[in-house]
Amino acid sequence: AQKITQTQPGMFVQEKEAVTLDCTYDTSDPSYGLFWYKQPSSGEMIFLIYQGSYDQQNATEGRYSLNFQKARKSANLVISASQLGDSAMYFCAMREGRDDKIIFGKGTRLHILP
């Protein structure tokens, strides 16, 4: 079974609009961490935001926020005021327990339209 599910293979959003990228996860470990990475066409993996399972508040980093709904096992990324430079692949990822390794979802390709 997939541990990280991203159901949107691609999305088209108008510039300056907010966008939500979906991510659900599956784990039985009470301690885990959730990540979002951006991968532009160059291939580099850019860390965006992190949410720990015990964090009480939703993580925010500038225009990025993580809508963490623990009971639903959901960790959606919200990008406010989208920009053309936001066009890229976005990956949701998870770390379980004390293990540092992270596994990735299939990704969502985001296209920002001018």
Partner 1 sequence: GAVVSQHPSRVICKSGTSVKIECRSLDFQATTMFWYRQFPKQSLMLMATSNEGSKATYEQGVEKDKFLINHASLTLSTLTVTSAHPEDSSFYICSAPRIGTQYFGPGTRLLVL
Q: Which secondary structure element, helix H or strand E, spans residue 7, and what is its range?
A: none
* Of the residues 22, 50, 63, 78, which one makes contact with partner 1 according to CB under 8 A: 50
By the rule CB under 8 A, 53 interacts with partner 1: no
DSSP 8-class letter at 57: S
Candidates 32, 68, 90, 91; binder of partner 1 (CB under 8 A) is: 91
Name, in order, each residue with C-beta under 8 angstroms of 78's C-beta and a sequence gap of 6 or more: 18, 19, 20, 21, 64, 65, 66, 67
Scan residues 67-86 and list those touching partner 1 (CB under 8 A): none
Binding site residues, partner 1, CB under 8 A: 33, 35, 37, 42-45, 47, 50, 52, 91, 95, 100-107
